[in-house]
Amino acid sequence: MNKLTRTSVLLTTLLFAAGCLSSASSFVSSSSPISQGRYTELAAEVSGTCTQVQWLFFTFGAAGSPQRHALSDAIGRISGADALTAMAVDVEQFTFLSTTLLPFPILPVFTRTRVTGTPVKLNAQ
């Protein structure tokens, strides 16, 4: 088998093994403690994302919790927003070769965390 054929077979195998997975991570009433009637809704919906790449033992992208980064991104998009209500967290993952045999990905895995919710401004007491 020549080199070109081997490469083609490998690429085809990777292509069939590649896939995108989207899963709902969590849903909470609000990202901060708020009481009824003590906030202002600033928009119907806003989203924020955080993308990380895992490869072997390394994680590339924003350090720390991707949910917190995505939340900060969402809140920062609306002027004056302090928190999100009806907040949903979804995780989208694109992987070339998924296996549970190894504790680390042998090919890069792209993970995007998306936080969606209603941006609110908290009122002073």
Positions touching another protein (CB under 8 A) are: 37, 39-47, 77-80, 121, 123-124
| Identity of the residue, 14 or 45, whose beta carbon is nearer to another protein in the bound complex | 45
Smallest distance, another protein to C-beta of residue 125, A? 9
Q: 57, 53, 39, 61: which is closest to 120 by C-alpha?
A: 39
Smallest distance, another protein to C-beta of residue 82, A? 11
| Identity of the residue, 37 or 103, whose beta carbon is nearer to another protein in the bound complex | 37
Smallest distance, another protein to C-beta of residue 29, A? 17
| Residue 24 CA to its chain's centroid (Å) | 10
**Amino acid letter, residue 84:** L
Smallest distance, another protein to C-beta of residue 38, A? 8
| Identity of the residue, 47 or 51, whose beta carbon is nearer to another protein in the bound complex | 47
Between the CA of residue 103 and those of 19, 57, 100, 111, what are the distances in Å?
19, 9, 7, 16
Greatest distance between any 2 Cα atoms in the chain? 75
